[in-house]
Structure 1
Amino acid sequence: MGSWHPTRDVQGLTEGGLHNMAASPSSSAQAAREALAVRLTHLRKDACLSGKELSARCGWHPAKTTRIQKGEAGPTDADIRAWCSACGADDQAADLIATARAVDSMYMEWRRLHRNGMRKVQEDFYTLHEQAAVCRVYASNGVPGFFQTADYAAALMRSITRFQGTPDDVTDAVAARVARSRFLYEGNHRFVVLLEEWVLRARIGDAETMTGQLRHLLEVMPLPSVSIGVIPFSAQRAIWPLEAFYLFDDRHVVVETLTAEINIRQPREITDYLKAFRELGQVAVHGTHARQLLESAINDLG
């Protein structure tokens, strides 16, 4: 890969079972729920059935039909099969079930994702990075996984496992997370990363672990596949600090909240995240200034 100017490319690239289905922070998930509800409603109307008639055929209370049609309750696989059968549209059940499962995946609680440990989620992220040509990351709460050292990843994952009360498979999960770093060196992948200075100062693990992590960031900064910007504490901000998010090309955003992973594929929302990334990039420092902030954080660790 050829030379890659960090500041120029940050600007260029940025332009370029929850069946109760509680309202999520993402309007993408809500829009998808409503689209599914519309399809089911159209099936009922095409079959010339009232809500009460469909409910009777399905064997449930009419209020359930109303909630499903309003997008307030997500139908289970069995609900969809019963609905299609009542409407004489069994051939559409498989597609509607697949759609419902896709909606379900938009808003995933961490405890659900980590119910058997963290390794599987790390492997899923590996696939996302493998398929993306450009990954833009805004990190406000920790070093992105593909930059993490094994010690830093282990300290962070132990903390998450303890907080969530989920099974401890930290050793395997760390190996899966660190494996992502290969894409920094292999293939035609680019990583444009914006770090809040807080990420450099927050001590994950002991001082030795944090020092090793910061030194590793210094080592990967010169890579032609990497652009690292740091938003200083002192920056006059164009936009407030946000929760961490990952932009995979221009097609998929993953937002990480305290309790859930939110997957966004709605173009209008992706445009908003691209805009936010661009504005955050405008107040970040790169090159020598970014290295100075990293070196200062290392020195302060003693």
Structure 2
Amino acid sequence: MPNYQSSSVETARKAVAARLREVRLDARLKGHELAERCGWHKSKVSRIENARTPPSDTDVQQWCEACDAGDQAADVIAASRTADSMYLEWKRLQRTGLRRLQESRIPLYERTKLLRGYASHVVPGLFQTPAYASALLSVISRFHSTPNDTPEAVAARMARARVLHDAGHRFTMLVEESVLRHRIGDTKAMADQLGHLLSVMSLPAVSLGVIPFTARERSMWTLESFNIFDDQRVHVELLTAQVTLTAPGEVAMYVQAFMELRELAVYGAKARVLVTEAIQALSQ
């Protein structure tokens, strides 16, 4: 797993490692003795106990059985899977295509009352048009070499966007001006997408801010795209994976970053001017 400095992920993995170590110690086994019982190289026990190598379900099962603690395997496996789910590589999330991933996120968006998001590269998914989403998801599918089910994935993304019109939800989103200028799809698709942003801005539940190229001296550098769900969890999108953060301190840090980025943005008429200028630039 690439090194992503998230204390949530690291802490969860260390907790699993510590629990397995306790199981071994309770069995009065040394590391090399456990490795021998499991038929492993002697260094494997050390790597797992030091959280350098995440154990597989089979590893945990063998470990517990070798320590005469088979009844603990299910709980340790559940904890290990929870730690693993905090860092999910796109190749795993998208192994059957993009449709199921889009559909799986709908319940989270439906139960979220306040969604705050920051986009530094592409238009937020909730605000995308079918043509823009199709062009973007096609590129993602090709890059990650996943089954190409783009039409179905686009339909699922559009279904998720219906939450914009449901009562009881608020959406406060920020985009860098570069998002308006980075062309996804052909000229018509991009123009329609920008026009759709103008429409989305008028929705009562939506606040859309644009951070202009000419923003005053920045108090925050450009970050990776992220979404904050009700102050409870943060999804951070990396090139290789989605990282889910739930530790209060980490969530609070992203909230702080969002608040500082929000101060750099323009809204209302000024934001509309930037979108309109981006539309006009498409014909130049």
Q: Are 1:89 and 2:89 counterparts?
A: no
Deviation at 1:243, TM superposition (A): 0.9
Q: How does 1:100-179 map to 2 (within 5 A)?
A: 100-179=80-159
Letter in 2 for 1:128: L
Q: TM-score, length-normalised on structure 1?
A: 0.89
Structure 1 unaligned blocks of 5 or more: 1-20
Summarize deviations over 1:208-239 as a string: whole Å, max 9, x none. Answer: 11111111111111222111010000112111
Q: TM-score, length-normalised on structure 2?
A: 0.95
Q: Are 1:46 and 2:26 counterparts?
A: yes
Deviation at 1:127, TM superposition (A): 2.1
Deviation at 1:78, TM superposition (A): 1.1
Q: Is the 8 A contact 1:24 1:30 kept in 2?
A: no
Between the aligned partners of 2:219 and 2:98, the Cα distance in structure 1 is: 35
Between the aligned partners of 2:84 and 2:236, the Cα distance in structure 1 is: 15
User: Residue 191 of structure 1 aligns to a residue in which SS?
Assistant: strand
Q: Which among 216, 220, 228 is matched to residue 208 of structure 2?
A: 228
Between the aligned partners of 2:167 and 2:256, the Cα distance in structure 1 is: 27
User: Residue 187 of structure 1 aligns to a residue in which SS?
Assistant: coil
In structure 2, do the counterparts of structure 1 residues 233 and 22 end up closer, same or farther at CA, with 3 Å as the change threshold?
Answer: closer
Q: Are 1:264 and 2:241 counterparts?
A: no
In structure 2, do the counterparts of structure 1 residues 22 and 163 end up closer, same or farther at CA, with 3 Å as the change threshold?
Answer: closer
Higher relative contact order (CA 8 A, sep 6+): 1
Summarize deviations over 1:71-114 as a string: whole Å, max 9, x none. Answer: 00111111111111122222221111111112222222222222
Letter in 2 for 1:285: V
In structure 2, do the counterparts of structure 1 residues 139 and 22 end up closer, same or farther at CA, with 3 Å as the change threshold?
Answer: closer
Between the aligned partners of 2:36 and 2:84, the Cα distance in structure 1 is: 27
User: Residue 22 of structure 2 aligns to a residue in which SS?
Assistant: helix
Aligned to 2:262: 281
User: Residue 105 of structure 2 aligns to a residue in which SS?
Assistant: helix
Fraction of identical pairs, as percent: 52
Letter in 2 for 1:106: M
Between the aligned partners of 2:62 and 2:2, the Cα distance in structure 1 is: 23
Deviation at 1:25, TM superposition (A): 4.2
- Number of corresponding residues: 282
User: Residue 208 of structure 2 aligns to a residue in which SS?
Assistant: strand
Q: How does 1:182-261 map to 2 (within 5 A)?
A: 182-236=162-216, 237-261=218-242
Deviation at 1:248, TM superposition (A): 1.0
Between the aligned partners of 1:147 and 1:108, the Cα distance in structure 2 is: 24
Letter in 2 for 1:61: H
Q: Is the 8 A contact 1:23 1:30 kept in 2?
A: no
Deviation at 1:136, TM superposition (A): 0.7
Deviation at 1:128, TM superposition (A): 1.8
Between the aligned partners of 2:16 and 2:247, the Cα distance in structure 1 is: 15
Deviation at 1:272, TM superposition (A): 1.1
User: Residue 242 of structure 2 aligns to a residue in which SS?
Assistant: strand
In structure 2, do the counterparts of structure 1 residues 22 and 59 end up closer, same or farther at CA, with 3 Å as the change threshold?
Answer: farther
Deviation at 1:57, TM superposition (A): 2.5
Deviation at 1:41, TM superposition (A): 0.9
Deviation at 1:259, TM superposition (A): 1.6
Q: Which among 254, 279, 284 is matched to residue 298 of structure 1?
A: 279
Between the aligned partners of 2:239 and 2:35, the Cα distance in structure 1 is: 38
After superposition, the CA RMSD in angstroms is 1.4
User: Residue 68 of structure 1 aligns to a residue in which SS?
Assistant: helix
Greater alpha carbon shift after TM alignment, 248-257 vs 55-64: 55-64
Summarize deviations over 1:107-152 as a string: whole Å, max 9, x none. Answer: 2222222222111111122122112111111000111111111011
Between the aligned partners of 1:177 and 1:206, the Cα distance in structure 2 is: 20
Report runs of 4+ in structure 1 exceeding 4 Å deviation: none
Between the aligned partners of 2:127 and 2:186, the Cα distance in structure 1 is: 18
Between the aligned partners of 2:213 and 2:58, the Cα distance in structure 1 is: 52
In structure 2, do the counterparts of structure 1 residues 22 and 197 end up closer, same or farther at CA, with 3 Å as the change threshold?
Answer: closer
